[in-house]
């Protein structure tokens, strides 16, 4: 279980000024300013959850992950990972964590992938039997066999990421942090990573915190989303609730046999008419799709119809827009 209470993280950064004059000034008397990367974040994540931690670039996602994993000390606020503070008892907490930063590998660049696993085995004191069993699982879930003996620098990005995931899971941590694990990968590699995440979660009830910009990741994996912007939590709840609230409209596209009838139902809007085709929009909290469909079919013969679900991209658009 992860509990974060009122987390704040401030960085002191030197202001860079332009030109030679600015550079000289910075050398003699650097001007410092405080940046608040995380500004009062609180949440609670239970065992076995897969939570999407979303937000635009610079929102403070990585900084939060670094605090939760004990890399950074919060400026203020409290973190408890299974009841223990990573700030005060770092080694005890990290024993039970797996962490992957998509932008930066934990693997040893110059050596064959297997050496990095061997190092993990010693660091986490994994017994020989356990190690063999875990390696077997990882091999079958991630298809490591084909590149286990290749130097990490020669791996494709997708293979490297699979290696990183395996290294992070070898000691069977109960919590897995993934910071942009699918960044830069092609579609098949992304899918392999997603399948692995889902598998690990169902097999061992591993709690997973995932930051991503990929909405497919979110749709496939996350039951719950926490959205942050400018260091603050702006949304926290089940995926469906979020969609209900932020995109309460649903659309039905209908093909009529003959020309489109006049539809006048209170609360249902006609947003598009094109030949025999019509698009209706309604508030999903007030109507069910079925009731709208039956009202329409009473008025005219329908050849075909489809219900359009709102895209997560649309739902989150307003959080991503103001930072782009």
Partner 1 sequence: MSDFLNSCKHYASVGSFQGRMALQRQLEYPLFLVSWLIMIPLKYLIGVWMLKILVDQFQPLAGWTFPQLAFLYGLGMLSHGLMVVVSIQSWFLDHMVIQGGFDRMLLRPLNVFFQFTFMYLNLIGCVDLIPAVIIFVTGCSLTGFDWTFGNSVGVLSVVLGATLIRSSFYTLTACVAFWTKRATHMRAIGHDLMERSTLYPLSIYPKAFQWILTFVIPLGFISFYPSTALLNINHGTALPLEIAMWTPIIGIAMFGLSQIVFNRGLRAYESAGS
Ligand X SMILES: Nc1ncnc2c1ncn2[C@@H]1O[C@H](COP(=O)(O)OP(=O)(O)O)[C@@H](O)[C@H]1O
Instruction: Summarize as ranges the residues that interact with ligand X (CB under 6 A).
Output: 11, 13, 35, 37, 55, 57-63
The 3 state secondary structure assigned to 90-135 is HHHHHCCEEEEECCECCCCCCCEHHHHHHHHHHHCCCCHHHHHHHH
How far from each other are the two terminal CA atoms of the chain, in whole angstroms?
34
Number of residues located near Mg ion, criterion CB under 5 A: 1
95 part of the interface to partner 1, by CB under 8 A: yes
What strands, in cross-sheet order, belong to the sheet with 224-229? 97-101, 175-179, 207-211, 50-54, 224-229, 232-238
Stretch near Mg ion under the rule CB under 5 A, chosen from 58-66, 106-114, 236-244, 245-253? 58-66
Binds partner 1 (CB under 8 A): choice among 103, 127, 306, 321: 103
Q: Build a one-symbol-per-residue string for 285-314: x at contacts with partner 1 by CB under 8 A, - elsewhere.
A: ------------------------------
Shortest Å, Cβ 267 to ligand X: 39
Q: How do 76-81 and 50-54 pair as beta strands?
A: unpaired
Q: Pick from ligand X, Mg ion, partner 1, none: which does 316 bind, CB < 5 to 8 A by kind?
A: none
Cα 74 to Cα 83: distance, rounded to the nearest angstrom: 17
Of residues 229 through 288, those in contact with partner 1 by CB under 8 A are none
Name the burial class of residue 200, with classes exposed (0-12), middle (13-18) and buried (19+) by CB atoms within 10 angstroms of its CB.
buried
Distance of CA 316 to the CA centre of its chain: 13
Q: Pick from ligand X, Mg ion, partner 1, none: which does 55 bind, CB < 5 to 8 A by kind?
A: ligand X
Of residues 114 through 153, those in contact with partner 1 by CB under 8 A are 115, 118-119, 122-125, 151
- Name the residue nearer to ligand X (CB basis): 10 or 216: 10
62 part of the interface to Mg ion, by CB under 5 A: yes
- Name the residue nearer to Mg ion (CB basis): 62 or 229: 62
Number of residues located near partner 1, criterion CB under 8 A: 33
Distance of CA 318 to the CA centre of its chain: 17
90 part of the interface to partner 1, by CB under 8 A: yes
Stretch near Mg ion under the rule CB under 5 A, chosen from 54-62, 257-265, 282-290, 316-324? 54-62
- Name the residue nearer to partner 1 (CB basis): 90 or 230: 90
Beta-bridge mates of residue 173:
none
Of residues 272 through 291, those in contact with Mg ion by CB under 5 A are none
3-class secondary-structure state, position 9: strand
Q: How do 2-14 and 76-81 pair as beta strands?
A: antiparallel
* Element of type H or E holding 138: helix 128-142
Tell me which residue of 311, 285, 317, 141 sits closest to 219, measured CA to CA.
311
Q: Pick from ligand X, Mg ion, partner 1, none: which does 189 bind, CB < 5 to 8 A by kind?
A: none
82 part of the interface to partner 1, by CB under 8 A: no
Beta-bridge mates of residue 254:
278, 305
Place of tokens 């046999």: 257
Stretch near partner 1 under the rule CB under 8 A, chosen from 108-116, 129-137, 215-223, 312-320? 108-116
| Residues whose CB falls within 8 Å of the CB of residue 298, separated by 6 or more in sequence, listed in order | none
- Name the residue nearer to partner 1 (CB basis): 90 or 198: 90
Neighbours of 307 (CB within 10 A): 13
Under the rule (CB under 8 A), what is the footprint of partner 1?
11-12, 14, 62, 66, 69-73, 90-92, 94-95, 97, 99, 101, 103-104, 106, 108, 110-111, 115, 118-119, 122-125, 151, 179
Under the rule (CB under 5 A), what is the footprint of Mg ion?
62
């Amino acid at each position: 279980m992860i509990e974060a209470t009122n987390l704040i993280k401030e960085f002191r950064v030197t202001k860079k000024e332009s030109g030679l004059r600015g550079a000289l000034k910075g050398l003699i008397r650097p001007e410092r300013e405080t940046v608040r990367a995380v500004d009062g974040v609180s949440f609670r994540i239970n065992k076995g959850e897969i939570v999407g931690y979303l937000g635009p670039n610079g929102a403070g996602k990585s900084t939060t992950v670094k605090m939760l994993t004990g890399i950074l000390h919060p400026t203020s606020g409290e973190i408890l990972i299974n009841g223990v503070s990573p700030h005060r008892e770092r080694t005890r907490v990290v024993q039970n964590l797996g962490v992957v930063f998509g932008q930066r590998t934990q693997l040893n660049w110059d050596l064959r992938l297997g050496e990095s696993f061997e190092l993990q085995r010693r660091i986490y004191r994994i017994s020989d039997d356990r190690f063999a069993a875990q390696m077997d699982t990882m091999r079958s879930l991630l298809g490591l066999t084909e590149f286990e003996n290749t130097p990490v620098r020669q791996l494709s990005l997708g293979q490297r990421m699979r290696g990183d995931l395996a290294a992070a899971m070898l000691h069977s941590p109960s919590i897995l942090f993934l910071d942009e694990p699918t960044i830069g990968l092609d579609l098949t590699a992304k899918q392999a990573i997603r399948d692995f995440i889902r598998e690990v979660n169902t097999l061992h009830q591993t709690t997973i915190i995932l930051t991503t910009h990929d909405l497919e990741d979110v749709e496939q994996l996350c039951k719950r989303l926490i959205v942050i912007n400018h260091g603050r939590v702006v949304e926290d709840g089940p995926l469906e609730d979020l969609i209900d609230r932020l995109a309460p409209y649903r659309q039905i596209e209908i093909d009529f046999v003959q020309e489109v009838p006049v539809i006048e139902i209170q609360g249902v809007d006609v947003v598009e008419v094109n030949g025999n085709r019509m698009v209706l929009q309604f508030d999903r909290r007030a109507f069910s799709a079925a009731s709208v469909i039956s009202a329409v079919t009473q008025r005219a013969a329908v050849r075909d119809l489809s219900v359009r679900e709102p895209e997560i991209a649309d739902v989150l658009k307003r959080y991503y827009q103001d930072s782009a």
